[in-house]
Structure 1
Amino acid sequence: MSDDLHVERSGAVVTLTLNRPESRNAIRLSMYRELPSLLAGIDADPTVKVLVVRGAGTRSFAAGADITEFRDVRADAESARSYNEQVAAAERALDGMGKPTIAMVHGYCIGGGCGLALACDLRFSDTGARFAITPAKLGLVYSLESTKRLVDLVGPAQAKWILFSGQQVDADRALATGLTDMVADTAELAEQTYAFAELVAARAQFSVRAAKDIVRRIVGGQTDDDEATTLLRNSSFDTEDYAEGVRAFLEKRPPRFTWS
């Protein structure tokens, strides 16, 4: 793993940091290349329950893709196609994780940075957060897959406003439109983000991951239970966590869930 991506662990919560503060954490192609295998390893670790993604420092989550590379890595249609495939693979790996993911957004969350944040389950931001998706300012076209994530969050009209204009969305508007899920003062964002991450990590993980799977299916268009969702629900009754949850309720104590 390069120095541009930093992984740190605290109990069951892992933090993945985009670590280029000198460039407001602009994302290099090498970082996109590393992310799928890195995220797969985190997802496969049974002791990890929640992933927090953030940028180094408090000025920026990520100011976008590193445009200084574009003359080399997107010099023509062929290299641009390869670049786009690797960006899509990184975002898809984050979006496809079975475990809950939270983007902790300080400051600028622009372009490719916003793409990664949209691929997380939740976005918590500070009052200085600024979101923007900027293909219209560069003569590019946002992918359907990434556009769908935006539309799923804010709806088609707000998505058009964001994509047509390329303008920055401040924290208040981001909260009102659903682009972010919580806004806190800069000094309090980390505390509130990790408090929520620890809360989720303490819940029954079979329930949490099943909920994530079912929500993903609904967003994808599924409206009725099928064999897979019925099995998920029925299987929960056979887990030790279900038995522990009932015991804890009857004994009036916090549950101690163990499924991972």
Structure 2
Amino acid sequence: MSDGILVESDDAIATVVLNKPDSHNAISLGMYRRLPEIFAALEADSAVKVVVVRGAGTRSFASGADISEFEQVRGNSASAKAYNEHVAAAEHAIEGFAKPTIAMVHGYCIGGGCGIALACDIRFADERSRFGITPAKLGLVYSLESTKRLVDVVGPSRAKWILYSGQHVYAEDALRLGLIDELLPADDLEKHTYEFAKLVTTRAQFSVRSAKRIVDLVLAGQTDDDEVTIDIRNSSFDTEDYAEGVRSFLEKRPPRFTWS
């Protein structure tokens, strides 16, 4: 695909590649514009069960937004408003994607790159990775929604430390803070990420996607079951995957789930 993004598929796993390695995969406005279209197409593709988001190569996930185009695309408040709307739409498309998403982070994951990684469900990173959210270095203000994603994973005081300072968070500290979920040697990261993605594709997809939806409701502040969540849970008993799960358990064999 154009605009610095590639989409690759291998069975039930799709990979979205931020593909500007010469600039550490800096994210252009065109790339932000493409992401909602890409994720809409992947959601409509019943063959896709998990999406991995990564940067091209092993030096960077993404070094941030492409600052070289800021004078043109964020030169004043009007153009900045339009730009920010495209960024928000891209992050919403990833966060609101019905299927599981995994950010595979090699190296730098800074600014807008960190925003995209935080919009994913899970983040795996290598030991050389470093993270940073840097509006305080540029005179910018991070959006409330993007800030909430950061607060949800590291807590309010550490989010303030990251945002006030603009300092990089190195891999081991990122793991300790919960900014990433697993830390791997650089040579093992890709293999581990795709092994986990493959594992998720073997699980009951109604269960997986319902779990994602319910966790998102919890993050949005819901604390009690309502008609929607009760219906989601009860509906699972009418799926073929539930029947297959019970059969496979009784027959002492791996399940063969078919819902997609």
The bucket for the TM-score relative to the shorter chain is over 0.9
Q: CA RMSD in A?
A: 0.6
Matched, 1:54 2:47: no
Q: Distance in 2 between matches of 1:3 and 1:30?
A: 6
In structure 1, the residue matched to 2:15 is: 15
Q: CA deviation at 1:44?
A: 1.3
**Percent of aligned pairs sharing the same letter:** 67
Whether contact under 8 Å (2:3, 2:30) holds in the other structure is: no
In structure 2, the residue matched to 1:44 is: 44
Matched, 1:33 2:37: no
Q: CA deviation at 1:43?
A: 1.0
In structure 1, the residue matched to 2:215 is: 215
In structure 2, the residue matched to 1:249 is: 249
- Is the alpha carbon distance of 1:3 and 1:42 closer, same or farther for their aligned partners in structure 2, counting shifts above 3 Å? same
**Does the residue aligned with 2:140 lie in a helix, a strand or coil?**
coil
Moved over 4 A (4+): none
Q: Distance in 2 between matches of 1:165 and 1:43?
A: 37
- Is the alpha carbon distance of 1:69 and 1:3 closer, same or farther for their aligned partners in structure 2, counting shifts above 3 Å? closer
Q: CA deviation at 1:3?
A: 5.2
Structure 1: which 5+ runs fail to align?
Answer: none
- How many residue pairs end up in the alignment? 260
The one-letter code sitting in structure 2 at the alignment partner of 1:204 is: A
Deviations 1:180-238 (A, max 9, x none): 00000000000000000000011000000000000000011101100110000000000
Q: Distance in 2 between matches of 1:216 and 1:53?
A: 19
In structure 2, the residue matched to 1:147 is: 147
In structure 2, the residue matched to 1:186 is: 186
In structure 1, the residue matched to 2:114 is: 114
The one-letter code sitting in structure 2 at the alignment partner of 1:163 is: L
Whether contact under 8 Å (2:3, 2:34) holds in the other structure is: no
TM-score of the pair, normalised by structure 1: 0.99
The one-letter code sitting in structure 1 at the alignment partner of 2:179 is: L
Deviations 1:39-97 (A, max 9, x none): 11101111100000000000000000000000100011100111001000000110000
Q: Distance in 1 between matches of 2:57 and 2:127?
A: 15
What does residue range 27-106 of structure 1 map to in structure 2 within 5 Å? 27-106=27-106
Structure 2: which 5+ runs fail to align?
Answer: none
Q: Distance in 2 between matches of 1:188 and 1:78?
A: 45
